Structure 1
Amino acid sequence: MQGTIDLARKTDLDAARERAASLPLETFDPGDPELFRTDTHWPYFDRLRKEDPVHYCRDSMFGPYWSVTRYNDIMDIETNHAVFSSASALGGITIRDIAPDLRRESFIAMDPPRHSAQRKTVAPMFTPTHLDELALNIRRRSAECLDNLPTGEVFDWVDRVSIELTTQMLAVLFDFPWDDRRKLTRWSDIATTIPGPGGLVETEEERQAELMECANYFASLWKERINQPPKSDLLSMMAHGAATRDMDPKNFLGNLVLLIVGGNDTTRNTMSGSIYALNQYPQQYRKLRDNPALIDSFVSEVIRWQTPLAHMRRTALEDMEFRGKKIKKGDKVVMWYVSGNRDEGAIDRPYDFIIDRARPRQHLSFGFGIHRCVGLRLAELQLKIIWEEILKRFENIEVVGEPKRVYSSFVKGYETLPVRIAA
C-alpha cells in the first residue's frame, strides 16, 4: 500500500516540477491554495529560492504580494518592525486581506509596544512550572485516547487523535465546558477557512456569523470569570489582566481566535504530520523505536518538516529596497516559513526527515523575534508525551492512504489521514 501511495505522490510531484520549470517566473503565484491542497507547492519555492528569492506576484486571488523564500531573508523581515508591520489595521498577518470593517486586533497582529503588553497577559500559562502541571493532564488524556483506538481496522488519525487531543487541551487551557469542546475545533477551522463552494462555509457572511457565535459564547464565560477571583486559565488571565480586561469586542475576538488557532491547528497538524513523516521515512521510524531518547529531537524535526503554518505576512510602512527589490509603502510581504524550512543554504539536507539532526531546533515554524509563538513549549510538550505513550503501546502505526490536505496556503494541514494499527 505504501508503495502505491508513494508512486502516486511522485507522479504528482514530477508533473509539478515540469510545470514549475516551464512557467515564466513573473507568472508564479506560490500562494495558490490548490498547490498546498495537492502538496505540489515545493518545486515552485525551490525555483524561487534559486532564481528570485524576493518575488513579486502581480495577480492572485489575494491580490498582489511579495514572497520572501530564503531562511535568512525571512529572519531579516521578521525582526525589522520599524519597516514591516503586523498591524491588523494594515491587513494583519495572513496573505488574505480582510475587509476593513471585519479586521480584529490580536497581539500577534500588533506592533510594539501594545503587542508586548497583551502577550505578557497570557504568558504565565506557558511557564515551566505551569507546563509541569499540564504535563500530568496531557499524559493521562493521551493514554486514555490511545487505549481506546481500534486495532486491525482503518480509522482516521486526524479525528480520533490529533483533533481530539488538541481540542481537549484547548478546553483545559480556557477552562471551557467539556461537552462543548468540539465547538473550539469548529471555530478554529472557520477562522482560517476560505469560503466557497464545497468548503466549510460558502460565503464570508456565513463565516462571520459563526465567529460571532464564538464571540458570544466566550462573552458569557468572560462575565463569569471577571466576577470570580483570578484563576490560571487563559480567559481568566485576560479578564483580570491590565492590558486585556478592557478590550473592545473586536480585540477580544481577535485574541480568542489567535489562541484557539494557535493552540489547535498547529499542534494537531504536526501531530498528524508526525505519523505521515515516519511512514515516509521508515528507517527513521525504526531509529525512534530503537532509541526513544531521540523523542526531543524528533519533535523539533517534525515541527520543521511539517511547518504547520506555511507563512506569515507583514505590510511595508515605507518605500525601501530589500535584496535589490523595491518594495513600496503598503505592499504586502509574505514570509514563507514552508520555504525557509527547506532552504539548502541554511539547513543541511532540508528535504530529508532526520530525527537526530545536530541542530533540530533550527527552523522557522514558530516564527522568529518578538512574534515567536508564545505556546511553543506547550506544543513541543504535547508532541513529546503523545509519542512517549505511542512507543509504549504500538510497534507501528501504518498510513494506508494519502491524506486529504487542507485547501489553504496559511494552515498547512490535514483533513483526514487513514491509518491502521496492527492487531
Structure 2
Amino acid sequence: MSEAAIRYDIQPEVDAYAIPLDKINVGDPELFRTNTFWPYFERLRREDPVHYCADSEFGPYWSVTKYNDIMAVDTNHQVYSSEAGLGGITISNPSEDFRLPMFIAMDPPKHDAQRKVVSPIVAPQNLAKLEGTIRERAAGLLDAMPRGETFDWVDHISIELTTQMLATLFDFPWEDRRKLTRWSDVATARPGSGIIDTEEQRQAELLECGAYFTDLWNQRVNSEPKGDLISMLAHGDATRNMEPMEYLGNIILLIVGGNDTTRNSITGGLLALNENPDQYQKLRDNPDLITSMVPEIIRWQTPLAHMRRTALSDTVLGGKEIKKGDKVVMWYVSGNRDEEAIENPNSFIIDRARPRQHLSFGFGIHRCVGNRLAEMQLRIVWEEILKRYQKIEVVGEPKRVMSSFVKGYETLPVRIPG
C-alpha cells in the first residue's frame, strides 16, 4: 500500500484545527467512513477533553475523550445510566415506538440477573471445548482461499468465521447462518448507508429476526435445557418471562456482540500488519508474539467506537457541569489513543509491555461478556495463518462502515502470493 493510504490525509487535520471548538461533532458517521476522525479526537483530548456538542443530528451530547475520564464514567453506573428507556447505549436516539430493551442497556439489578443467565457460554471450560471447533473451521476456510487472486477478506474470512461461531453458540440452523450476518448489519446500520434505505425497513427486518428466533425459543423451551444461548434464555429464571421485544433486544445484543467486534478485529489486524510491515516481519520471526498482538489489535481497531450513558443526576466531570438527563458519550476509540494513559498510542506495536491496557471491551458492570472468546478466535486465526502463509497482502483500500458506533469494514481486498 502507498504511504498516503496508510496515514490520514493532511486536509482533515487542517479542518479539525480550523473550525471553532464548539462546532466539532465527532459523532458524524461520515468521519468514520472516511477514516478522518483522528485529528478531531486529538484536538479534543488536548483542548477540551469533556466536550459539549450542542447541535448534531443526534441532539446535544457530551464527548468524553480521555482514558481516565472514560473509566470514571464506565465504572459509575449509579450516576451514568445505560437504561434503554433513557436512551440506551448509542449516540443515536432510539425510536420511541420500536424500543429494544437488552441487558447491556439496563442498570442493576435487572442487568446483573440477565447477564448471569448467558455468561456460562463463555466460561473457561466451555471456551476449552470450543477451541478445537474454531481451529478446525479457521483451517478449513484458510485452506480454501485462492492463491495469486484478489478476494474480499471481510466476506470470505472475517464474516464467515464469526458467523459460523455465532451459529454454534445459538445452535442456529447452519444453512441459514448468513441471516445472522444480515441482522447484525441491519441492527446497527443507518438508513441510506447502503445496507438499509429506511428506518421502517430496519424495523421490518428485525421483526423477521424476532419471528425466526421465537420459533427457536418455542422449540428449546419445550426441551431439556442445553448449553446454547437460546436454551439458556428460555430456561433462565431472569429471562424466561421476557416480553417479545426484550427477547429480540437481547438476541440482537448477542448477535452484534458475538459478530461485529470479532469480525472487524480480524480484518483490522490484517490491515494493521500490512500498514506496519516491520511488525508483520516481527510476527513471522516470532509467532509467540500472537499472545500480545491480539489485545494490541483489539486496542488498535476499537471495534465499537463508543458507548453512551445518560446522567441520572447533576454531576461534574473534567471540570464540566453535566446536567441530569444529558447524553454522555464515551469515545473508546479516543481513549485508546490517549498518550497520557498509553505509551506511544498511535503506533501499532505487537510486543507491547502492557497490551491489555485498552478500553475496547469497556469496564465496570458492562465489560464485554465475550471478551475471552473474541481473543481466542483472533489468536487461533493468526496461529493458523502463520502455519500456512508467509504473507497475506492488502491490495487496495478498505471500504469502511458508515457508522460512529460500529468501527468496521465492509470490504478489504487481499491476495495470497502464489
**Could you say whether these structures have the same fold, taking a TM-score greater than 0.5 normalized by the shorter chain as the test?**
yes
Q: Does 1:308 align with 2:303?
A: yes
State the AA in 2 paired with 1:77: V
Aligned counterparts, 1:397-416, within 5 A: 397-416=392-411
**CA displacement at 1:103 relative to structure 2:** 1.4
Q: Does 1:349 align with 2:344?
A: yes
- Regions of 4+ moved over 4 Å: none
2:333 corresponds to which of 326, 330, 338: 338
Aligned counterparts, 1:135-214, within 5 A: 135-196=131-192, 199-214=194-209
Q: Structure 1 183/363 Cα, relative in aligned 2: closer, same or farther at 3 Å?
A: same
Partner of 1:67: helix, strand, or coil?
strand
Whole-angstrom distance in 2 between the partners of 1:187 and 1:337: 24
Q: Does 1:7 align with 2:9?
A: no
Q: Give 1:108's aligned residue.
A: 104
State the AA in 2 paired with 1:110: M
Q: Does 1:57 align with 2:69?
A: no
**CA displacement at 1:253 relative to structure 2:** 0.6
Whole-angstrom distance in 2 between the partners of 1:368 and 1:332: 19
Aligned counterparts, 1:344-423, within 5 A: 344-423=339-418
Aligned counterparts, 1:244-283, within 5 A: 244-283=239-278
Asked if structure 1 preserves the Cα contact closer than 8 Å seen for 2:90 and 2:307, the reply is yes
Partner of 1:237: helix, strand, or coil?
helix
**Gaps (5+ residues) in structure 2?**
none
Q: Give 1:238's aligned residue.
A: 233
Partner of 2:307: helix, strand, or coil?
strand
Whole-angstrom distance in 1 between the partners of 2:49 and 2:223: 52
Aligned counterparts, 1:2-151, within 5 A: 2-3=1-2, 6-8=3-5, 10=7, 12-151=8-147
TM-score using structure 1 length = 0.98
Asked if structure 2 preserves the Cα contact closer than 8 Å seen for 1:89 and 1:100, the reply is no
Partner of 1:257: helix, strand, or coil?
helix
Asked if structure 1 preserves the Cα contact closer than 8 Å seen for 2:69 and 2:317, the reply is no
Partner of 2:329: helix, strand, or coil?
strand
Cα-to-partner distance string for 1:133-173 (whole Å, 9 max, x where unaligned): 00010000000000000010100000000000000000000
**Gaps (5+ residues) in structure 1?**
none
Cα-to-partner distance string for 1:275-330 (whole Å, 9 max, x where unaligned): 00000111110111111111110000000000000000000111122221111111
**CA displacement at 1:8 relative to structure 2:** 4.4
Query: RMSD across aligned C-alpha pairs, in angstroms?
Result: 0.8
Partner of 2:97: helix, strand, or coil?
helix
Q: Does 1:321 align with 2:316?
A: yes
Whole-angstrom distance in 1 between the partners of 2:191 and 2:176: 24
Whole-angstrom distance in 2 between the partners of 1:117 and 1:101: 26
Whole-angstrom distance in 2 between the partners of 1:222 and 1:321: 45
Partner of 1:89: helix, strand, or coil?
helix
Whole-angstrom distance in 2 between the partners of 1:253 and 1:209: 13
**CA displacement at 1:80 relative to structure 2:** 1.1
Q: Give 2:210's aligned residue.
A: 215
How many residues of Structure 1 are paired with residues of Structure 2 in the alignment? 418
Whole-angstrom distance in 2 between the partners of 1:37 and 1:236: 38
Partner of 2:197: helix, strand, or coil?
coil
Whole-angstrom distance in 1 between the partners of 2:153 and 2:5: 21
Asked if structure 1 preserves the Cα contact closer than 8 Å seen for 2:303 and 2:407, the reply is yes
Asked if structure 2 preserves the Cα contact closer than 8 Å seen for 1:158 and 1:414, the reply is yes
Partner of 1:101: helix, strand, or coil?
coil
State the AA in 2 paired with 1:52: D
**CA displacement at 1:100 relative to structure 2:** 2.2
Whole-angstrom distance in 2 between the partners of 1:142 and 1:266: 17
Asked if structure 2 preserves the Cα contact closer than 8 Å seen for 1:155 and 1:418, the reply is yes
Whole-angstrom distance in 1 between the partners of 2:221 and 2:141: 33
**CA displacement at 1:9 relative to structure 2:** 5.2
State the AA in 1 paired with 2:19: L
TM-score using structure 2 length = 0.99
Whole-angstrom distance in 1 between the partners of 2:43 and 2:4: 23
Asked if structure 2 preserves the Cα contact closer than 8 Å seen for 1:37 and 1:405, the reply is yes
Whole-angstrom distance in 2 between the partners of 1:341 and 1:8: 22
**CA displacement at 1:13 relative to structure 2:** 2.4
Partner of 1:401: helix, strand, or coil?
coil
Whole-angstrom distance in 1 between the partners of 2:82 and 2:121: 24
Asked if structure 2 preserves the Cα contact closer than 8 Å seen for 1:67 and 1:334, the reply is yes
Q: Does 1:228 align with 2:223?
A: yes
Q: Percent identity?
A: 67
